[in-house]
A = this chain, B = another copy of it.
Amino acid sequence: MATITLVTGGARSGKSSFAQQMAEGKSERPVYLATARIWDEDFAQRVRRHQADRDQRWENVEEEKQLSKHDFSGKVVLMDCVTLWLTNFFHDCSYQLDEALEAAKAEWQQFIQQDMDLIVVTNELGMGVHPENEMARKFADLQGWMNQHIAAQADTVYLMVSGIPVKIK
């Protein structure tokens, strides 16, 4: 089974940088597990910015959904991030909330069977006003339920606030 550290927080709260430093402190050769599907230039820019932040020590794996098909045994793995990974399930399930949540949880359960040191980055999406857009509301539900699921399994959880890690579990 994986040892799990969850790093959650708002947009631009320093989640990825903190998680990267943690992974680099734990291994000479950490794995960067990127879950982004490149939807548009805005995403592409963000991906490039993050890649530029990382040094050459990293092993890069790109995987939009099927995390469990890669062998991470004995490795330190940084999954960045749950939100992009869930977006792919949500899209491919035609925006059906229950179906996407079930599929994502099943894949997750397979994934964490591996003996790895897993650091997971996710987003807090629920502390703003209730979105008017129904799809945004559904996605926020999906994100929130998955976050609860992962946090319950995690050994350690950090909430990032303005770049400061607050250990909450």
Smallest Cβ distance from A87 to chain B, in angstroms? 10
A12 to B162, CA, bound (A): 18
Task: Decide: B132 and A13 in contact? CB cutoff 8 A.
Answer: no
Q: Which of B12, B129, B139, B161 contacts A128 (CB 8 A)?
A: B129
Contact among B134, B145, B150, B157 with A12 in the assembled complex (CB-CB below 8 Å): B145
Protomer copies: 3
Q: Mark A87-120, 1 if CB is under 8 A from B, else 0.
A: 0000000000000000000000000000000000
Binding site for B on A (CB under 8 A): 6, 8-14, 42, 122, 124-134, 136-137, 139-141, 143-145, 147-148, 150-152, 157, 159, 161-164, 166, 168-169
